[in-house]
Amino acid sequence: MTKTRLNLHFNFISMPSFDIVSKVDPQTLDNAINVAKKEILNRYDFRDSKSTIDLDKKENVINLVSENSMRINAMIDAILTRMVKQGIDGKSLDMSEEEYASGSMIKKNLKVRTGLDKEVSKKVVKLIKDSKAKVTPAIMDDMVRVTGKKIDDLQEIIGLLRKEDLGIPLQFTNMKS
């Protein structure tokens, strides 16, 4: 008597997908900040200044300290210039926080945006759904995953989102076909 074995192999059909994220490479940001620091130290208008630029890597915040707001603005310009030259979008800095006085010095904190917050995620999902493309967006923590049957549909969504200005830089990662 022979036994027949039934081998079942489940082939999970994976649909093409990609992730929409907003992130900044920490090493590139660190390089941009270090170059901006050197540039500030060598400028004539910053001679004998107690100005400092510090990057808090854990909190993702750039701390600026100087004697007046003119120097703070010059430091922000130097940082933005270096970030753009390093390939980091300037929109990744949140400059909404105001300067504040601390003794004779003025301080300003620039938060580095990482991840998509809830509001931006909802805007992205709404844009995708309004496009009537045959894809499915899903909010997953600080990113949006888009799945569809055809890669062409996914590329159409990437093109759509590149044209939109959502106030933060978007990257399209983890493309699977």
For 15-59, write each residue's pLDDT tens digit: 888 888 999 999 999 999 999 999 988 888 888 888 899 999 998
Closest of 129, 119, 101 to residue 22, by C-alpha: 119
What gap in Å lies between CA 177 and CA 14, rounded to an integer?
8
Specify whether 153 is located in the same domain as 172.
Answer: yes
In a domain, 127, yes or no: yes
How is residue 42 written in tokens? 């060598």
Asked if residue 159 and residue 90 are part of one domain, the reply reads no
Q: Residue 152: which domain range?
A: 17-22+116-176
Tokens of 167: 């106030």
Residue 101 and residue 91: Cα distance in Å, rounded? 25
Domain end call among 62, 79, 112: 112
Residue labelled with tokens 């983890």: 174
Distance CA 25, CA 11 (A): 36
CA distances from residue 8 to 2, 5, 18 in whole angstroms, order as listed: 19, 9, 30
Residues 87, 106, single domain; the answer is yes
CATH code of the domain containing 79? 3.30.70.990
12 vs 159: which has the higher pLDDT = 159
Instruction: Determine the Cα–Cα distance for residues 42 and 32; give it in Å rounded to an integer.
Output: 16
Each residue of 124-162: pLDDT tens digit?
899 988 888 888 888 888 888 999 888 888 888 889 898
| pTM given for the model | 0.79
Whether 132 maps to a domain, the answer reads yes
